[in-house]
Amino acid sequence: MLVALDLAGAFIFALTGALVAVRAKMDIVGMLVLATATGIGGGVVRDVLLGEFPPAALRSARYLVCCCLAGLLIFALPRLFEQFGSPIRYLDAVGLGVFAAAGTIKAVHFGTNGFTAVFLGVITAVGGGIIRDLLAGEIPSVLRSDIYAVAAALGSIAIVLTRDAGLIQAGAAVLGAALTIAVRLIAIQRGWQAPRPQRR
């Protein structure tokens, strides 16, 4: 069940990677690379920082296969999602919540302090997207618009706090993922932006 959710998250993220590759006029190689980097990048960076080798996403074939399938789907039907821009963003919110919760729980398991757990939860959730944008020659979108990393951070913080307060782990994980998804969806709905420094 958890693995299925995690794979679904990777698949959604991989779709966004392949779509960015199409926009950047890349070929099939670029599409597969960006799909894979977006789908597993955040989790791989988390596992490297925690010292787990090989990273979970490389220990079986299923994550790589899943990301490549997403890339091939977009290659075969590059316009499939053009009229569905909005659905993709909503699905992406689910991936964000699942990844932020999974990353935070894993960091807590490894015995890291709360700040590091939140840091690694956010990296798991947004790391793949940052690598995707860098490979496409763009400034990572998460750095300058929208409530995106903030939603991931709120979910991660909720997990750390409720777990310290004694909530069982599965409960904390569901709560954190739900919070991230809810904040992200509302932010899309209402067009919320993260604050910027005041410059006159």
Instruction: Summarize as ranges the residues that interact with its own copies (CB under 8 A).
Output: 21-22, 24-31, 33-34, 36, 44, 48-51, 53-55, 58-61, 64-65, 74-76, 78-79, 110, 112-116, 119-120, 130, 134-140, 142-145, 148-150, 193-199
Tokens of 75: 């290659």
Closest approach, Cβ 195 to its own copies, in A, equals 5
Q: At closest approach, how far in Å is the CB of 53 from its own copies?
A: 3
What is the rounded distance in angstroms from the CA atom of residue 11 to the CA atom of residue 178? 19
Query: To the nearest whole angstrom, how small is the minimum distance from the Cβ of residue 59 to its own copies?
Result: 8
Instruction: Output 36 or 38, the one with its CB closest to its own copies.
Output: 36
C-beta closer to its own copies: residue 22 or 167: 22
Beta carbon nearer to its own copies, 152 or 172:
152
Q: In terms of CB distance, is 150 or 183 closer to its own copies?
A: 150
- What is the token pair recorded at 93? 């919110």
Nearest approach in angstroms of CB 103 to its own copies is: 13
How is residue 10 written in tokens? 């990777």
